Structures are given as structure tokens and as C-alpha cells.
Chains A and B, each alone.
Chain A
Amino acid sequence: MTPALELLNVEAGYGPFRALFGVTISVPAGGAVALLGANGAGKTTVARVASGLLEPSAGSVLVDGRDLTGERTFRFARAGVAHAPEGRSVFATFTVEENLTLSFQRLLGSDGLDDGLERAYSIFPRLGERRRQVAGTLSGGEQRMLSMARVLVEAPSVLVADELSLGLAPIVTDEIYATLEAIRASGTAMLIVEQHVGHALALCEHVVLLDKGTVAWEGPADEAADVVVSRLFEKSGG
């Protein structure tokens, strides 16, 4: 079966700076891959390449077997890749509702829009309370909720999530992971970058460990815990 998302020998960087050196990652259809690594290892860069935000300087990116290398970002989105970027990625001058509307309009059409909004508010009731508030004035956690709501409501074919629990209360994180499980069950493939290794390993069956822009180790999740601990401790010790 063709993988939902495939990065083949990807090299990428920022201007003169090179961040990835021949990274190959494959997310099978309906599968979930956790991407772990130290700060600056290149996890966010992989996520950006996967969603078309960054064009790789070599190698290729395939979505559902279709080569999208070098295509514009919106083509990735239309091919079914949803990306929840790192940090406070909301339209700061838009209200909560406008933020959601912008994301849902294309997916749900104007008829399904209200329904989509309701679903978003039922996942995150806080957003419902603040639907008229300008997103830039939301708290950091609320902004994370908003950017998650944008990708969680309508299950995409591939979800790329970058540090999605960062800055969220444990309860909310648990809720998000419950939603992610539900989405997974509906067939969405996932590439998850996560600080909370526990959550990531519980959700994903496959783990890729990134180090200085290359894949240092990969394997099934149940073997990963030991490897991750030993590798990262080794490093800080040496």
C-alpha cells in the first residue's frame, strides 16, 4: 500500500544554513509516526518540508504516492496534509470564529461551516466562550487550542503536528490526545513531533529519532523508550 506521506533523502536548510542531511521518513496510510530529537535536531524542519512550507534542496516529498516536491504549500493542503505549526500559529488580528472559518470554508463549504464551528467548540468549550475575541489577545494555551481545532475538526488524510501539547494544561493535552486517537481510528495518518514522549509513544506505533539533521534511529514504539533515554542521557553526559 502506498504510504500516506513519504520523505525520501530530503536535504533542506535556511539560506546558507543546512538543517537536514538526507532524511527518509515514511508514514504508512493510517499509521502514526513520532518524531523525537534534541532541540535543534531538525524536527520542525522535517514538519515544514512535509507540509510544503519549506522546499527541500534535494530529495522528494510524496503525498499518497504523488510527488509534490517543489509544489506550493496550498497544493499540499489540498492533497490532504494538515499542519499544526509550532508555537502560536493563529491569525492574530482575526477573531476566533474568523480563524476557524478560514480553515473550514474550503473543507466544509458554507453549508457545513456552522456544523464545523459547533464541533470545534464542543472539543474546546473555551473557544466557544471566546468566539468573538481577537485571537491575538487569547492566552498562549487558548491559541494552541485554536490552532489545534483548525486541524482536528475535519479529519485530514495526513496530520503533521509540531509540539502540539506545548503550553497546554495536562487535562487539555489528554483531551487532545483522545481526539487524536479518534481521528486516527477514522484513518488519518500522523507525523507527531512531541516533547511529551509518553503521549507520543502511546499514540504512535513507530518512532524516528532525529539527531543533527539525520535519522539516528528508528523502530517500533515499544523499543523506543529505552533507546531514547539512553541516547539523550549519553549525550548530556558526554
Chain B
Amino acid sequence: MVLAAGTGTDVVRAILQGTPPGAVYALVALGFVLTYKTSGVFNLAFGAQAFVSAAMFFQARVEWGWSTVPALVLAVFVLAPLTGLLMERLIFRHLRTASAVSKLVVAIGLSVALPSLFETLTGFAGVAGRTPEGLVPDGATVFYDPLGVYPFSRDELVALGVAVVGMLGLGALFRFSSIGLAMRAVVESPRMTELAGIDADRVSSVAWMLSSFFAGMAGVLIAPRFNTLMAPDFFHLVVVAVAAAAIGRLVSLPRALIGGLGLGIFIALFRTFLPRWSADHPWLEPFQNNLTPSMPFVVLFGVLVLWPAIRRSPAAADPLSGVDPPPPSLVSATRSAVLTRAARVFGVCFLLLVGLTVWFRGDVVWVHLVTQATIMSLILLSVTVITGLAGQISLCQGTFAAIGALTVFQLADRWDVSVLAAALVGAVIAAVVGALLSIPVLRLGGIWLAIATLAFAFFFDAVMLKFSWVGGGDSALLQGHRVPRPVLGPWDLADDRRFLVLVVVVFALVSVFVIRIREGTTGLILRGLRGSEVAAESVGVSPARARMLAFAISAAIAGLGGGLLAIHQENVNYGNNFTPMAALFWVVLVVTLSARTVEGAAQAGAAFSLFNSVILRGDGIGWITRGHLPGFFPLSPKWRFVLFGLASIQFARHPEGLVEHGKRRATAGMDARLAARRERAEPGAASSTAQQDPPSPDPSKVAAVGKQP
């Protein structure tokens, strides 16, 4: 390619243009790495924290009319560290020994809960169509051009300045004070740190306050770059930060800094040059429009998949881990016979009752809601398969469901295919995509799998959706994707009740399928894999095959559910149903209730669709009290996110799910009585107490003693 004259200037301009956002990315990445380094928490709630500070700043400046300095102090210097302190004190301090994946789930729960909690507490409403306030007046309209190449806006200069000061401050703190060393020590072994007389709890509180301060600062700085002030934008920000942090393998602060700056500059260069290349090469054009916004996700995905070293995190094991008692055996894999039977009987009766009530008494709204709940249960069964059975956290289930829904739309729209057939095709396509995705991603495992699937979800959201053969082009994205209701033989399923029957039948079939998988060989293999990969491999089980199967099945179920949801709503409604943020909430719901059982998915589906109207709006209470609602109803629908998000914190302690845990405890007594009765019937059959035999003395030691005169 012949370089046009002035290319050098363009490069310089792009670098200058990319530096201010790059500096803010670097700031977020630093904070993110700080948390990861000092607590082992992959803090996906970082974006939520940034949002809370940005929203607080906005609220104080605009709603309450405060001037900049007090608003900044409140939002960044008080609220942000306080949030971090509370998160550490109340939650993560108690999870020090929990697995990285459990901590990740907790962070996901928090990232769902925090923005809604803030919004309900302060009455803040997401601001759309209005550029949030910056730190300086006229930040976006006054420009300075020191080099005569690129005019910096005031906001950009402020962001750059603050970011540089922040980085220098952090560097100095680590260089000249002992706290930096202590923070690193606490990650490696809080116990050894305490043996040196250092209060490990205080050190990690300080680390959380500091990194949260960075989150808050970055939130306020980045806000003017958006034209809205809503939580999802900030979640986006944290994914960018993860990409930058991944370049430093999540532990190196200087490299995270370079990663952030580099990402900002890289994106600016891309923006400058891609349009020119695509002028010469027309095939580049679709990428030009689509790839730029998703650069961070592509980078993140690429780094994760192509750079195996990142997975071997250099973190060392705690030399004093011998003080911990052995982990409890995998209780989550088994369920007692009593509970299984009771749950089945109760579940069937309950469903019959609800079904009959809805069928004969329910009005249009109720039939609609129950249909929605059933379809959501179906979609959430896909989480049961991947998370409950395979033990992996996938954050792109929304994308699989979207693939199913969009397939239905495309096939029906273009070729007039029956929507039910199209839903099946959608499931197959989702399965294929899932299987393909699983090839690079499943090797990752643990938190990396979660992050890679998240990157994929964002990539689909930012890039694939824009292709007309996926998202239906601009008109469809604007006007919605109309999907007709099917006719099945003599039944016109435009009738809501008939459609409900169809949906229930599909859900029942898929449930039976999932149960058979769980109890069958594949389930057995997957259960073994949850215990130990090496052990499973050594008995000849191929972890890759079983996991790939789980991934594909899970994707297919999500795709089928997504298709049905589109048929039900007679529209795809991508933005409401399938965004990456929505999918986060699905995972939170399922792990909160019960990750391994079909009933857990059903409860989660019901909670997703009905919690709002039955509990929060007060319909449930109103029905019981015959219309006398206490004054505090209706509650904000946001409580749904707050409650379930916070409840998922329990995941680390009860990986079988909170509700499941409660149920097991409730039936534990009955189990014990049953076991006792059985033992009376056939004495000696049950195993004896847990008393261990004392180990016999080590011969080598005896020899050493014997050598003494």
C-alpha cells in the first residue's frame, strides 16, 4: 500500500487522540489489577463501582446543585472508598479461601446489585440523551492545541492530568511505603503476613479502598465520553480494563498501565486508518463500521485464547494453607432421597395447581406472564447444564438465546419458514456456535472461561448484530424484528393459552432430557471433572469432549428458549432480552436458587418473570389480603436485581444454591431419622463414626532417635 503524504502526522494525531481515553483505561486497569493482586478477586463489579461514583457526582452537581469540589469529594473521596471498604469487610474478607470462580460469581452478583441499589436508595434515574457533567466547565467545547496536530478538549486534558497524577501517586506509594509490600504479601499468604506482625485485614481494607477510589475517579472522568449515564456503559468499561489488565497478566501494574494506554492508542489508530484502507479494499468496509467499537473485546478474546501463559497465573500457593481444614466433600453433587422425592411430588402438585388456576381463572396478563416464566425457565436450564453440571461459568448464554431468536426471525422473514421449525434450526445453529466457541475457550477453564465468554457476548453485541444477515440490518434494529405465531396442525397458536400448553410441553421434554444427562454417563463424567481434572483424565475420561458436549447442549437449549421467547413476544426484542448484562442476571438467579436441579431453573424462571408483579408490585399480598395493600407497595422493580444480586454472595459458601441449601437443611433431620431406622433394621450396615486411627510412627524417625546415644 502506498502511504499517503502526511501519514506521519496522522499517526501522531491518532496517538494524541488515543492517549486521554487510554489514560483512563489505564486508571481502571490499575485499580482492577490492584484488587486482583491484593485479594484474588476478579472484580467485575468494578464497573458498577465506577457507575455509582459517576452517578453520585451527577446527582450532586445537577440535582442538588452542588459545586464541583464538594460533589467530587462526596462521589470519589468518600463514597467510592466506602463502597470498597464495605465490600471487603462484609463480603470478600470472609471469602479469602474460596475458589476464584466463587469470588467471580459474587462479583457478578454485586455488579448486578450495586447500580440498582444505588438507584433505589438515591432515587437516581439513568440519564439518557444528555452528556454527563465533567469536572470542568465547558469540558467538551473548549479546545487546546499545544502541538498543532490534535486539539485536546478540556475534559481530555483533565482526564489525562488526573490519570497521570493517580499513577504517579500509586507508584510512589508502592515505592516508598511499606504498604505496597504488605499488600502483595497478603495476597500470597495472609497468615504469613500476620506472623510478621502485620494486620492482614487492615491491609486488605486499605487495598480495597484504594482500588475503589480508582474506580470512582475513572467513572467520573470517563462519564463525559458517554452520552448517557447508565450502568451498562460502565460495565463495558470494566471489560476494556480487563483487556488492558490481561496484557499485564493481571498482576503487573506497570504493564496494565501500558496496556491501557496502548489500547486507547490502538483504537484511535484503527479509527484513523481503517476507513482509508477500506476505501481501497471494499471488503473491509463492514468491518470498519463494526469492528472499531469492539476492539477491546477482540483484544481480550485474542489475548486469552492465543496467549496461554496468561492462564498460568504466577500467583503462588499459600505455604500455610496446611492450617485450613480439608474442604468439605462435594455435597453439591448429591441430594438426599427424601428431598428428591418430596421435591418431585410437591413440584408436580404445585405446577398442576398453578396450571389449572391460570387455565381457568387467569386473565390475559397472567397467561402471558406464566408463559414468559416457563420460557425463561427453559432458557435458564441452559445455565443449569453449563454451570450446575459442568461447573463452568458461561456469561454468553444470552448470546446463544439471541442466536435462536434471530434465526427464527430471519427464517420466517426471508423464507417464510414455520417459526417452530425455525426455532429448532436456531437451536442447532446455537449448538454449532457453542461447540465452535468451546474449542478455544474450554481449555481456559475457571475465571478465564467466564471472561472469554463475556468477551464473546460483547463481541456479538457490538459486531455480529450489525450484520444484516444476523441482526436484520438497520431497519430491523430500529423497528424491531416481527415474528409471527405458528399454526400447528389444527391449532392456531396465536391463542395464548394454546401457546402456553406448547411451551409447557417443550419445557417438560427438555427437563427430562437434562435430568437424563445429569444421571447418565455424561453427567457422571462432568461430576468427576468438577472434582479433579487430573483424576478424571487418569481414568481415561476426556474432559474436553464431555465439556464440549455440555457447552453445545447448553447453547442449544438457550437457542431453543430464545426462539420460543421471540415467538411468544412476537418480536425478538434483543435489547430487552438478550444483552450481555441480561445474561449476567440469569447466572446470578440460577446460582442463587439451585444450580443443579431442574426445579432450580424453574424457580429462577418464575423469579425472573413473576417476582416483579407478584412480590414487588404487591399482587401476591394484595391477593391474600383481598386488595388491602400496605402503603409501601408497589416497590421498585429494581429490588429484583438488588435482592438476587446480593443473595448470590452466598454462592461461595453454598455452591449448591441458597434455596437448595435451605431445603437440604430442612430435610436433613428426616434423613437422619430414616438412616437410623435403616440401621436398626440391619445393624452394622451404616458406616461407623468419623474417628480416625492414629498414624503409626514413622520408621525413619525411630531410626533417627535410635542413633542417639
What is the interface of chain A, defined by CB distance below 8 A to chain B? Answer: 13-17, 38-40, 44, 48, 51-54, 72-74, 77-78, 82-83, 85-94, 98, 101-103, 105-107, 110, 136, 150, 195-198, 201, 212, 225, 228-229, 232-233, 235-236
The answer to whether the Cβ of B694 comes within 8 Å of any Cβ in the partner chain is yes
- Give the distance in Å from the alpha carbon of A88 to the alpha carbon of B143 in the complex: 59
Q: Please report which residues of chain B, range 682-709, place their CB below 8 angstroms from some CB of chain A when the two chains form the complex.
A: 690, 692, 694-699, 701-702, 704-706, 708-709
B705 partner residues in chain A, CB cutoff 8 A = 197, 228-229, 232
- Given contacts A39-B697, A73-B195, A229-B706, whether A14 and B326 have CB atoms under 8 Å apart is yes
Which of chain B's residues has its CB closest to A228's CB?
B705
Q: Please, could you name 17 A-B residue pairs with CB atoms under 8 Å apart, sorted by A?
A: A38-B696, A39-B698, A39-B701, A51-B195, A53-B320, A73-B195, A74-B193, A78-B197, A86-B322, A89-B192, A102-B185, A196-B704, A197-B705, A197-B708, A212-B694, A232-B702, A232-B705
The answer to whether the Cβ of B1 comes within 8 Å of any Cβ in the partner chain is no
Stretch with Cβ within 8 A of A (4 or more), from B208-216, B311-319, B409-417, B438-446: B311-319
Which of chain B's residues has its CB closest to A54's CB?
B323
- Give the distance in Å from the alpha carbon of A171 to the alpha carbon of B696 in the complex: 31
- Chain B interface secondary structure, helix, strand, loop or mixed? loop
Q: Are A93 and B325 in contact (CB-based, < 8 A)?
A: no
Q: What is the minimal beta-carbon distance from A94 to any residue of chain B, in angstroms?
A: 7
The answer to whether the Cβ of B200 comes within 8 Å of any Cβ in the partner chain is yes
Q: Are A15 and B325 in contact (CB-based, < 8 A)?
A: yes
B323 partner residues in chain A, CB cutoff 8 A = 14, 48, 53-54
Stretch with Cβ within 8 A of A (4 or more), from B149-157, B176-184, B594-602: B176-184
Which of chain B's residues has its CB closest to A77's CB?
B197
Please provide the 10 A-B residue pairs with the shortest distance between their CB atoms, ordered closest to farther. Answer: A15-B325, A73-B194, A77-B197, A92-B316, A38-B697, A14-B325, A74-B194, A40-B695, A39-B698, A89-B319
Q: What is the minimal beta-carbon distance from A19 to any residue of chain B, in angstroms?
A: 10
- Give the distance in Å from the alpha carbon of A81 to the alpha carbon of B695 in the complex: 30
A39 partner residues in chain B, CB cutoff 8 A = 695, 697-698, 701
- Given contacts A74-B200, A77-B196, A106-B197, whether A236 and B702 have CB atoms under 8 Å apart is yes
Q: Please report which residues of chain B, range 641-670, place their CB below 8 angstroms from some CB of chain A when the two chains form the complex.
A: none
Q: Are A101 and B692 in contact (CB-based, < 8 A)?
A: no
The answer to whether the Cβ of B332 comes within 8 Å of any Cβ in the partner chain is no
Q: Are B320 and A89 in contact (CB-based, < 8 A)?
A: yes
The answer to whether the Cβ of B189 comes within 8 Å of any Cβ in the partner chain is yes
A73 partner residues in chain B, CB cutoff 8 A = 191, 194-195
What is the interface of chain B, defined by CB distance below 8 A to chain A? Answer: 178, 181-182, 184-185, 188-189, 191-201, 314-317, 319-320, 322-326, 328, 690, 692, 694-699, 701-702, 704-706, 708-709
Q: Are B701 and A77 in contact (CB-based, < 8 A)?
A: no
Contact of B692 among A17, A86, A110, A233 (CB under 8 A): A17
Which of chain B's residues has its CB closest to A224's CB?
B708
- Given contacts A16-B690, A197-B704, whether A85 and B195 have CB atoms under 8 Å apart is yes
Which of chain A's residues has its CB closest to B199's CB?
A74
Q: Are A91 and B188 in contact (CB-based, < 8 A)?
A: yes
- Give the distance in Å from the alpha carbon of A229 to the alpha carbon of B692 in the complex: 26
Contact of B697 among A14, A15, A17, A236 (CB under 8 A): A236
Q: Are B195 and A83 in contact (CB-based, < 8 A)?
A: yes
Q: What is the minimal beta-carbon distance from B301 to any residue of chain A, in angstroms?
A: 28
Q: What is the minimal beta-carbon distance from B193 to any residue of chain A, in angstroms?
A: 8
B320 partner residues in chain A, CB cutoff 8 A = 53, 85, 89
B201 partner residues in chain A, CB cutoff 8 A = 72
A54 partner residues in chain B, CB cutoff 8 A = 323
Which of chain A's residues has its CB closest to B698's CB?
A39
Q: Are A102 and B704 in contact (CB-based, < 8 A)?
A: no
- Give the distance in Å from the alpha carbon of A16 to the alpha carbon of B328 in the complex: 10
Q: Are B195 and A53 in contact (CB-based, < 8 A)?
A: yes
Contact of A136 among B193, B316, B696 (CB under 8 A): B316
Q: Are A105 and B326 in contact (CB-based, < 8 A)?
A: no
Q: Are A198 and B708 in contact (CB-based, < 8 A)?
A: yes
Q: Are B326 and A92 in contact (CB-based, < 8 A)?
A: no
Q: What is the minimal beta-carbon distance from B401 to any residue of chain A, in angstroms?
A: 41
Q: What is the minimal beta-carbon distance from A67 to any residue of chain B, in angstroms?
A: 19
Which of chain B's residues has its CB closest to A235's CB?
B697
Q: Are A106 and B706 in contact (CB-based, < 8 A)?
A: no
A196 partner residues in chain B, CB cutoff 8 A = 704
